[in-house]
Structure 1
């Protein structure tokens, strides 16, 4: 059940974030009817949303992905449910959810769920930007993660009370209902920050750095996929895209984009040693938009064009030693220790 609340709360579009409400996207991903407008509320600015969702999925398999979004979702179950759950493509052991249990899921983990039967819950969508805006108002460090040691579903009296209030306010609308629902959303935001925020982005003079496993995994991904996106790297490292970009630069001395370009050029050098492969084919195989972009990037690092580099290396006339190393240092803007190797 918890998986359902989780999955529902995090469902997102596979492309660009839609302007539709999270509740509508959740229902669509399960091929279920969209919740009526009077059971949905959006607080602006910040895009915090609160909804009452009743799902009777028509799908026989897991819900469709809603895409990547830096957002946390909180669901308080109004009825028990049995389900199966996957995060980042991996099956996660879960137990049937109980009515009143609270679930939190990170939408960056691409949650998918297979729900066995109807499910009913109050859903709070809390974008990371909104959580950090609220955190800054109380002088708390910026949030990148919530606690990871929680069970999939647990008893949280505060969230259960907020959910009961939200359900009553949604069903009994009056002229000041919007103000009341805004207050419930703000209360949920404050409670999640105060109780569950754990790992934060450092705001002191000490720069944020990637953990060793994050640095290793990011480099592995860039070596394996020369078209990998910043969002995909950040999601794999369990942090926001902005946090990942800063932490990667602080750890390696170069931006993720610079590192990826150097990985592409390393791969291009390997392919250039095969005279049967054209420069245009190499450019596309290494993630460059066209041969012109490839040539500019290659010459920026190696100080010679790809064609000349190929002729010199195939003829045995290529320069060795300090010249080539210095060009890589200049290209990355730091010591040779930063030069990625395949």
Structure 2
């Protein structure tokens, strides 16, 4: 898995324990990896360059860090990395940074093969590479995404496959549009066809207790994952993972009203990770806890 390879390489290169990482498979064998890249210990010397790879890394700081040396193919400079910016590194280059600073950031590892696959899905020509105007480009989108995925990387929040796929697709769209020099692709103007919408809804309802993914839903409709995600939002006004969560909550309400099953059993039957996960989403959508809703509903 890409996350494991990235974690081991980063740990070795920066002389830190392998950072917690997650990877998302978007389509086929294409993956993207997110790591929580953090250290509070100052060290001597430079990092060990990663093995050359057809891939790119975006370092998205969560806190400011001052590197006395950032060396790219021998060209050295000092860099202050600030939150709200993204720092792009091409792993076909020899990249080294000084270890004499504390840092806290999200590292996004994006293979060239994944970029190519995404461009192909969107009917775009091959993206030859990624470039930024300077080392450190204002990028609020990647900063918000970094904050969004951090709890999942740390394991404090469990998110659905559909949500993580949606995040990965958003990263791909944003990166291709912002860093490839290509013109922004046209947005999908139409939504799902009636038969695609019905097949999607039926599949979701039949698989709520599992973890329906955008990849599988798009296959059911005979379209690409990226096209499906945009067409679904056009049709429903929300992302697939949001719709899935709403349907899970609705099914849970039916079970709470019609049965005496425990909330833990209902959580599992509706596809939530655990009762806490169920409670958070129920409170967000209904404005009350499942237990309170049940007491009012059944009068007990």
Give the TM bin, normalised by the shorter chain: 0.5 to 0.7
Aligned to 2:165: 182
Alpha-carbon shift at residue 47 of structure 1 (Å) = 2.7
In terms of fraction of residues, the more strand-rich structure is 2
C-alpha separation in 1, matches of 2:73 and 2:14: 18
C-alpha separation in 2, matches of 1:113 and 1:122: 16
Question: Residues 55 and 23 (structure 1 numbering): CA distance in 2 closer, same or farther, change over 3 Å?
Answer: farther
Aligned to 1:27: 11
Aligned to 1:141: 125
Structure 1 residue 80 corresponds to structure 2 residue 64: yes
Question: Residues 41 and 69 (structure 1 numbering): CA distance in 2 closer, same or farther, change over 3 Å?
Answer: same
Q: TM-score, normalised by structure 2?
A: 0.54
C-alpha separation in 2, matches of 1:99 and 1:19: 23
Question: Residues 57 and 185 (structure 1 numbering): CA distance in 2 closer, same or farther, change over 3 Å?
Answer: farther
Alpha-carbon shift at residue 59 of structure 1 (Å) = 4.0
Alpha-carbon shift at residue 57 of structure 1 (Å) = 5.3
Post-superposition CA distance 1:116-174 (Å, at most 9, x none) = 321111111100010010011111111122235x1211221111111111113334332
C-alpha separation in 2, matches of 1:95 and 1:35: 22
Alpha-carbon shift at residue 19 of structure 1 (Å) = 8.4
Aligned to 1:126: 110
Aligned to 1:50: 34
SS in 2 for 1:125: strand
Question: Residues 19 and 96 (structure 1 numbering): CA distance in 2 closer, same or farther, change over 3 Å?
Answer: closer
Post-superposition CA distance 1:259-284 (Å, at most 9, x none) = xxxxxxxxxxxxxxxxxxxxxxxxxx
Post-superposition CA distance 1:47-67 (Å, at most 9, x none) = 311121212456411111221
* C-alpha RMSD of the superposition: 2.4
Aligned to 1:239: none
Retained in 1: the 8 A contact 2:34–2:153? Answer: no
SS in 2 for 1:108: coil
Retained in 2: the 8 A contact 1:30–1:58? Answer: no
Q: Any gaps of 5 or more consecutive residues in structure 1? A: 1-17, 201-342
Question: Residues 141 and 135 (structure 1 numbering): CA distance in 2 closer, same or farther, change over 3 Å?
Answer: same
C-alpha separation in 2, matches of 1:78 and 1:111: 21
Retained in 1: the 8 A contact 2:176–2:182? Answer: no
Question: Residues 178 and 57 (structure 1 numbering): CA distance in 2 closer, same or farther, change over 3 Å?
Answer: farther
Larger Rg: 1
Aligned residue among 112, 132, 135 for 2:96 = 112
Question: Residues 134 and 57 (structure 1 numbering): CA distance in 2 closer, same or farther, change over 3 Å?
Answer: farther
How does 1:61-76 map onto structure 2 within 5 Å? 61-76=45-60
Question: Residues 99 and 71 (structure 1 numbering): CA distance in 2 closer, same or farther, change over 3 Å?
Answer: same
Question: Residues 173 and 106 (structure 1 numbering): CA distance in 2 closer, same or farther, change over 3 Å?
Answer: same
Q: Any gaps of 5 or more consecutive residues in structure 2? A: 184-300
